[in-house]
Each structure stands twice: as structure tokens, then as C-alpha cells.
Amino acid sequence: MADYRAPVKDALFTLRHIGQLEELSKTERYAHADYETVASVLEEQGRFMQEVFGPTNAIGDREGLKWSPEGVAVPEPLKAAYAKFVEAGWQGLNAEVEYGGAGFPESVFSVAAEFETAANGALTMAPGLTTGAIECLQAWGSEEQKEVYLRKLVTGEWTGTMNLTEPQAGSDVGLCTTKAVPQGDGTYLVTGTKIYISFGEHDMTDNIVHLVLARTPDAPAGTKGISLFIVPKFLVEEDGSIGRRNDVKCVSIEHKMGIHASPTCVMSYGDDGGAIGYLVGEENQGLRAMFTMMNSARIAVGIQGVALGDAAYQKALVYAQERRQGREVGGDSKEPALIIAHPDVRRMLLFMRSHIEAMRSLIVYNAVAIDFSRALEGEEAEQWGEIAELLTPVTKAWCTDVGMEVTSTALQVFGGMGYVEETGVAQHFRDMRIAPIYEGTNGIQAMDLVGRKLPMRMGGVVGDHFSRIRALDAELAAAGEEFASVRTQLAASVDALEEATNWLMNNGLADPKQALAGATPYLAMFGIVTGGWLLARLALAAKGELDAGSNDTAYLSAKVTEARYYAEQHLPRAAGLLGAVTAGAGDLFAVDAESLASV
């Protein structure tokens, strides 16, 4: 089984040319994030994840978790790894300096999170959710809440959770029935049941800070009547010490196809009268606060696509360089050849490699848009904020769909051995399968893109995105013949995407069902085209370095090849999806539900 190696060189190349690290480090907010500092941080963080988190990945998958009425026991090697993670201070990499964080940009954090997730995706769920809780409390918490809870979350001494889902309220959180009754002293008694709560219970930290959606008495129906509460596992005394156990417990954990070391909990609040909770922000504003955490989580889930995809790719590449099977086509030797010599294996490897680069580039671009929206002011900040809003559903959905394809392709490279657990690649495939589902299924992300994001600024935001893609045409033309196919295919694909966009906006106004029927293929188109654009930018940057005399010829030339391969073999898929986008809802509802049954 090949050991994971953090792709620091690729990450830094992407940060320089997609993440605009040099420009970002010129802002006052991120002046400390210069290239040399970032490179040093990522080298060390990548080494840590390889050496500390990586060796525990298979152990957690194999041993799983132990539930009892007293709590959930995490395998000892994972507990030890997490303790080292806290000691090293990695949790607060992107948290505000004021509360003990390092204050690094989201773009830098995104590749650090990739290394972390690739090394051990299940264990990373704990710090990942804690990051969301940190961002939520940074934005919405009171100063007292920040002092009591935020500082401990930033260090990783305590972990955070996100409690939305209930048995009757999945994606439709407006159906939430958990209650929060004010006690007249600033506290609330919370009662209800939450399901699918990742790391809702564990024994890695002294306390767990649950962020819980609930309704106060006489709250309006639906999403307008939801409030957000801090409900700690243990109450905190005035001196900051751990107090008595709160009225919250994990009544069971789910048995899942993957992420076996991540406890997915059924949480019960108030079995003995009510769990003490503390309002975050104002009553009935809980969904706004929770979406701060949700948007962070959606990008984090997108990161799982590139992370687990790269971990699987690395295993497949090593196997292809070691496994002998069949004779090389056109070769002289009668001996079995390494399978990497076979065209179809090369196709699979290049498919994985190019899509990993495209996913990483999209994530970094989405993240740096958040960075610039925070670091700049006025109209510039607003424009970058719009880019981040537009791309978040694409990052979540496209990267996880592609992550599934990449992990499945890696398994295919192994042939029959890929279906055998001891190779390790099957775990990545199983772990990856949840990502298109949670934090809003990919169908919901597509609906968000079409229903909420395309109409932003009367279509101006998505129009600006297309203009930025088209603006690369002049550079591609100047780059010469080796970029000719990239230029041609990118132009054709963005034309098709714009045609699909216009159809959706025109027909969606008259009948939203027509637009939503094509939302999923549309999001795929959007991801494919945006990925091709970002790969073209990387390739142009690589050519620029070669023209400037760089000796890293093989590495930089590969960037150009990857962009050309993607443009020639995958960008045409975007135009191929146009018919699916514009087909409308007619056929989807032409057959009644009973007739869909085959018996």
C-alpha cells in the first residue's frame, strides 16, 4: 500500500497562479502570508499529515468506533494523532489572530485541509467541523461567547459540531421541531433530537461545543423561526473550568459504508428536563448564522473530492509502475510489461491527474475570492464576494462528483485487486461516497446555482464570470500552436455554457420547474468549463516560466499537456450536456410515479 505524500509543489504552484498569493500578501490583512512563509507552513503541515494522520487512516477504517451509554470511544492511535494535532497548533491556521489563530488566508487553508483530508478523511471531520464552528462564532458570537468557547475551539482543545438535521427535517430545515425555552436568566432549555451529527460524541477532547438549531416559543413557522444555540457537552464555570455534564447525550451511532472512524451520532437533548443553551446572535436569525458554518462546510466537502481523489491516484500510480500484465503494444519485448505502458492505463492516470489539478484550482479560486472579499474594500470586495457566492455550490457539487469518478478510476487501475480491501484504494472510494450527499446533496447545490446564484445582479455575476473566461483568449492565441486546441475548445465550451445559462434564465422565469429539471447537468457544464479555464491559466503560467528559462522542464511541460488533454478530451463534454439542460421537465413528468415501477 502506497503511503500518501502531500503534493506541496502542486499546491504552491496553484496558490501562486490561481490563488494570486503575491497580490494577496500585499494586502494589510494577509501581509504575513508571503510565499516563503506559506511554503514553509505547507511543507511542515504536509509532513505532519503524512507522518501523523496518514498511518492512522486504515486503522480507523478497520477498527471503527465503540459506542456505549457513556459515550463513543475513538481508536487510540487516532486519539494520539489528534492530540499531536492540537499540540502542533494546526486547528487555528485560518482563525482570527485576536482569538489565538494564525490568520492565514482561506486559500492557503484550503490546500492544508486537502493534505489533512487525504491523510485521514474520517479523523479530519473533527477539526473540519470545528473550523465551521469557529467561523460561525467569529461572525455571530458575543464577546463573552468568544472568550469562553472560541478560544478553546481555535486551539483544538475543544471540538465543535453543527446540529441541523432531525428525523423529519433533512435538507428542509424549516421543519425543525427542537425547542428552546428561555429561562429568564439568559439561558434556554433545549429539548429535541438531532441525527447525522458528525463527531457529536467522542473521547478526544474534554468538551464538545454543539451549535444547535431550535425554535423558541411563538417563533414564526418555517425557516424564519429558527434560532441558533451553543449547547456544550459540559457546562463551563466562571473561571473557565469544566463543570457538570449538560443534558445532552449520544443515544446511538450510525453504521456506514465509509468514514468508519467518524462517529455519526443521534443526539438527544433534554431527556432529563432540558439541555442548557446560549443564544447565538438574535432569536429567529439562526439560519443566517448557521449558513456561515454551512458555506464553510460546503467548500470543505468539495476539498474532500480533490483530497481523496489524490490519495487514490497516488496509490494507482504506484501500482501502475509496479504491476506487470500483458505485452506492450508495439514493443519488442515478449515479457509482461508494466501496466503504465498500456494506453488505457495512461488514459486513466491522465484523467485523474488533470481533474485533480482542475478541482484544486477551483477550490483555491473559490477560497481566494473569500480572501479578497475580506482583505479589500468597496466595489472590489463586493465583486470578489460575488465570485465566492457563485462558485460555492459548484465547488461542493462538481468536486465531489469528480472525486467519485477519480476514486472509482483509481480502483479500476488496480483491476481485481482494487476490489480487495488490503490495497487501501477501496477505502478512498467508500469514504468518498458520502461527500456528494452531505451538507446539501449535489442536486440541492445545482438548484442553488440555478435558482439563487444565476439571478444575482440580474445575471451580471455569471456574465462577469464568462467574460473573465473569454478574456483568456488573447493570451492563448499569443501562446502559439501548442495552445491552439485549448483555445478552440475553451471558446466553444463557454459558448455552450452561456447558451445553457440564457435558456435557464429565460425559461426559469416562466416555469421554475423547467430550469430545475436541467440544473444538475448545468452544474456539471459549469464545473467542466471553469475547470478547463483554470487549467489553461496554469498551463500559460507554466509556459511563462519555461520561456523565462526555468530548468524544471518536465514538471512545467506536464502542466501544458494536462491542460491540452483536458481541453481536447473533456471540455467537449460540456457542449454535449446542452441538450440535457434545455430538455425541460416534460419527459420527467410524462410517466406517472406508478408507471415507473417495473413490477
Long-range contacts of 414-421 (CB under 8 A, 24+ apart): 414/315, 414/316, 414/319, 415/325, 417/319
Strand partners, 215: 179
Cβ atoms within 10 Å of 23's Cβ, excluding its own? 12
Of 201, 439, 545, 562, the active-site residue reads 439
If DSSP codes are grouped into helix, strand and coil, which group holds residue 520?
helix
CA–CA separation, 414 and 533 (whole Å) = 31
CA–CA separation, 67 and 87 (whole Å) = 27
Closest by Cα among 41, 28, 39, 141 to 92: 41
Q: Is 76 among the residues known to form the active site? A: no
CA–CA separation, 292 and 140 (whole Å) = 9
Distances 47 to 7, 52, 308, 527 between C-alpha atoms, Å: 10, 8, 17, 31
Distances 70 to 80, 102, 254, 273 between C-alpha atoms, Å: 21, 35, 16, 19
Q: What is the dihedral of CA 108, 543, 564, 42, to 10 degrees?
A: -20
Q: Which residues are within 8 A (CB) of 362 and not within 5 positions of it... i.e. 6 or more apart? A: 302, 391, 394, 395, 398, 399, 527, 530, 531, 534
Q: Which residues are within 8 A (CB) of 593 and not within 5 positions of it... i.e. 6 or more apart? A: none
CA–CA separation, 37 and 67 (whole Å) = 42
Question: Locate cell 483568456: which residue?
Answer: 472
Q: Are 373 and 388 in contact (CB under 8 A)?
A: yes
CA–CA separation, 84 and 258 (whole Å) = 24
Q: What does 215-234 look like in DSSP terms, one character per residue?
A: B-TTPPSGGGG-EEEEEESE
C-alpha cell at 140: 455571530
**Radius of gyration of the chain from its Cα atoms, rounded to whole angstroms:** 24
CA–CA separation, 453 and 519 (whole Å) = 12
CA–CA separation, 397 and 212 (whole Å) = 25
Strand partners, 159: 208
Question: Locate cell 494522520: which residue?
Answer: 53
Show which residues are catalytic.
439
